[in-house]
């Protein structure tokens, strides 16, 4: 058996501690599968006294992750501290020092992935980031390796377990977004500041990585249209069900004739399709490609165990001597994506207008839609209460997104609504 692969771990939070536990418990199994042991020899964390379920005296302890990254005692630097500034300095220092790198840092790879990949390739090193998207689901390997012989056309994912949990609970209990978010925070499913999750930013980081892997492009966070779930109401969830759909926060990347279309937003997904059935804190990813057709992946997208599993998978590749360009093609071949104009996208839309039940309101809404050549497939108006708020719900036929948005603005300008209208895109999967 070869000598052990010596690794240093920066960050001993839930994932870092979970990785130490996994490597310890599965030591024999991992050694049998890759022909050598993976040995943690050094760690970096701020609190030496915190109870993590193991004795820190087992390892050389560093306060500074950059110092750990440069240590001659390690062959692989595992970055699990998050953020982009210190983590970026440490990862760059590790590569400059001849160390392979494994990271779970989606924000760092989305922001600097192409440059770091070029640095890794320059020195013949690995830069692996399976854990940066969809946790325990091996979607990075699927896109980079398993589907490498296919022309991938679309990637669609439920990539944030917090949002999926909130939407699932809203549907099952009828409670508001605010109520369920508060519960998710109490249960530890949502951060004290949940903005990155519920605002769609976390999903956007992950989508930028998946789009790069799928289409051979430089990660382009600025090109990802991002909208969160804060305005989704139990009313919309109920209507979605009535129309045979379920609301999910989706990350969608497609290579179209107009360029790369990358968007994160709530969407109505038809019931009975794979992503509609991904519930609770689970993640799910659907890919469409040439010879392979449609592939579906589902599993836990966050947490110490699933994320540590993904990190261990990357470490095993390095231990086996497997090295693949971080984005599946040499960094010099990554293309700067041409961004598609989402306003030109054709699709169907769910529209909800809260109005006063007065004569002529419906006619105004219909005229504004017709003026923008947006035709109505179906409509529901419930409640007859003069001078009180009622809802009008419309499903459109296929329409250009810019035309739908323009019609909504015209309806607001006409004074036909008493609350901001709700628009949710309907996806065909």
Residue 403 has pLDDT above 90, yes or no: yes
pLDDT band at residue 383 using 50, 70 and 90 as cut-offs = low
Contacts of residue 217, Cβ cutoff 8 Å, sequence gap at least 6: 211, 260, 334, 335, 336, 337
Structure token pair of residue 14: 């839930």
Where are the CATH 3.30.70.260 domain residues in the chain?
A: 344-426
CA distance 7 to 20: 11
CA distance 420 to 411: 10
Nearest Cα neighbor of 243 from 348, 318, 347 is 348
Where are the CATH 3.30.360.10 domain residues in the chain?
A: 139-300
CA distance 177 to 236: 11
Task: Tell how strand 152-158 and strand 100-103 pair up.
Answer: unpaired
CA distance 20 to 372: 59
Residue 81 has pLDDT above 80, yes or no: yes
Residue 29 has pLDDT above 90, yes or no: yes
Structure token pair of residue 183: 């519960």
How large is the average pLDDT for residues 201-223? 97
How large is the average pLDDT for residues 391-418? 96
Map tokens 């779930």 to a residue: 229
Q: What does the angle CA 287 – CA 291 – CA 295 come to, to the nearest 5 degrees? A: 25
Q: Is 206 a catalytic residue?
A: yes
Are 375 and 396 in contact by the 8 Å Cβ rule? The answer is yes
How large is the average pLDDT for residues 61-83? 96
Q: What local confidence, expressed as pLDDT, does residue 356 receive?
A: 86
CA distance 36 to 334: 34
Helices (H), 35-176: 65-69, 85-96, 106-122, 139-141, 161-173
* Residue 271 CA: distances (Å) to CA of 4, 171, 376, 378, 427: 49, 13, 22, 18, 11
pLDDT band at residue 387 using 50, 70 and 90 as cut-offs = low
Comparing 388 with 413, which gets the higher pLDDT? 413
CA distance 423 to 328: 37
Contacts of residue 311, Cβ cutoff 8 Å, sequence gap at least 6: 15, 19, 78, 80, 102, 104, 130, 131
Residue 382 has pLDDT above 70, yes or no: yes
Q: What local confidence, expressed as pLDDT, does residue 368 receive?
A: 97
Where are the CATH 3.40.50.720 domain residues in the chain?
A: 5-133+307-326
CATH classification (class only), 5-133+307-326: alpha beta
Ramachandran assignment for 321, one of left (phi > 0), alpha (psi -120 to 50 degrees), beta (any other): left
Structure token pair of residue 41: 């020899």
Residue 341 has pLDDT above 70, yes or no: yes
Instruction: State the chain's mean pLDDT as an integer.
Output: 95
Nearest Cα neighbor of 289 from 321, 253, 258, 319 is 253
Q: What local confidence, expressed as pLDDT, does residue 237 receive?
A: 97
> What does the pLDDT look like over 155-194, one tens digit per residue?
999 999 999 999 999 999 999 999 999 999 998 888 899 9
The CATH superfamily label for domain 344-426 reads ACT domain (3.30.70.260)
Are 402 and 343 in contact by the 8 Å Cβ rule? The answer is yes
pLDDT band at residue 128 using 50, 70 and 90 as cut-offs = very high
Nearest Cα neighbor of 260 from 215, 227, 207 is 215
Structure token pair of residue 211: 């789009």
Q: What local confidence, expressed as pLDDT, does residue 385 receive?
A: 62
> What does the pLDDT look like over 243-285, one tens digit per residue?
999 999 999 999 999 999 999 999 999 999 999 999 999 999 9
Burial 33-57 (b: 16+ CB within 10 A, else e): ebebbbebbbbbbeeeeeebeeebe
Q: What local confidence, expressed as pLDDT, does residue 402 receive?
A: 98
Q: Cα(first)–Cα(last) distance of the chain, in Å?
A: 48
State which fold the 139-300 domain adopts: Dihydrodipicolinate Reductase; domain 2 (3.30.360)
* Residue 354 CA: distances (Å) to CA of 97, 133, 235, 415, 420: 61, 38, 11, 11, 8
Choosing from 49, 206, 248, 409, the catalytic residue is: 206
């Amino acid at each position: 058996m070869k000598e052990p692969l010596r690794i240093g771990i920066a960050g001993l939070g839930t994932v870092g501690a979970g990785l130490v536990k996994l490597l310890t418990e599965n030591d024999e199994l991992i050694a049998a599968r890759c022909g050598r042991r993976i040995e943690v020899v050094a760690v970096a964390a701020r609190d030496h006294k915190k109870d993590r379920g193991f004795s820190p005296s087992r390892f050389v302890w560093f306060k500074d992750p950059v110092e750990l990254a440069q240590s001659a005692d390690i062959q692989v630097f595992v970055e699990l501290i998050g953020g982009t500034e210190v983590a970026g300095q440490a990862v760059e220092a590790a590569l400059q020092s001849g160390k392979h790198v494994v990271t779970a840092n989606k924000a760092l790879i989305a922001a600097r992935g192409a440059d770091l990949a070029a640095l890794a390739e320059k020195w013949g090193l690995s830069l692996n980031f399976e854990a940066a998207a969809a946790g325990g689901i091996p979607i990075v390997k699927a896109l980079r390796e398993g589907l490498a012989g296919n022309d991938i056309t679309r990637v669609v994912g439920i990539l944030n377990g917090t949002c999926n949990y909130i939407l699932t609970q809203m549907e099952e209990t009828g409670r508001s977004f605010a109520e369920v978010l508060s519960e998710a925070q109490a249960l530890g499913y949502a951060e004290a500041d949940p903005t990155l999750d519920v605002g769609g930013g976390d999903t956007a980081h992950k989508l930028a990585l998946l789009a790069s892997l799928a289409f051979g492009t430089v990660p382009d966070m600025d090109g990802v249209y991002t909208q969160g779930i804060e305005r989704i109401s139990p009313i919309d969830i109920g209507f979605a069900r009535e129309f045979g759909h379920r609301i999910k926060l989706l990350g969608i990347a497609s290579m179209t004739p107009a360029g790369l279309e990358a968007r994160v937003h709530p969407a109505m997904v038809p019931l009975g399709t794979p992503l509609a059935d991904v519930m609770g804190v689970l993640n799910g990813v659907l890919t469409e490609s040439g010879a392979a057709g449609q592939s579906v992946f589902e599993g836990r997208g966050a947490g110490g165990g699933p994320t540590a599993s993904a990190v261990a998978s990357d470490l095993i590749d390095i231990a086996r001597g497997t090295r693949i360009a971080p984005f599946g093609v040499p960094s010099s071949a990554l293309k700067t994506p041409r961004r598609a104009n989402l306003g030109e996208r054709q699709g169907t839309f769910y529209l909800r207008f809260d109005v006063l039940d007065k004569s002529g309101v419906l006619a105004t809404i219909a005229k504004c839609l017709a003026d923008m050549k947006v035709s109505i497939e179906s409509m529901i108006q419930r409640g007859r209460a003069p001078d009180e708020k009622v809802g009008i719900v419309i499903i459109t036929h296929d329409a250009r997104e810019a035309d739908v948005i323009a019609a909504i603005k015209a309806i607001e300008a006409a004074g036909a609504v008493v609350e901001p209208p709700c628009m949710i895109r309907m996806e065909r999967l």
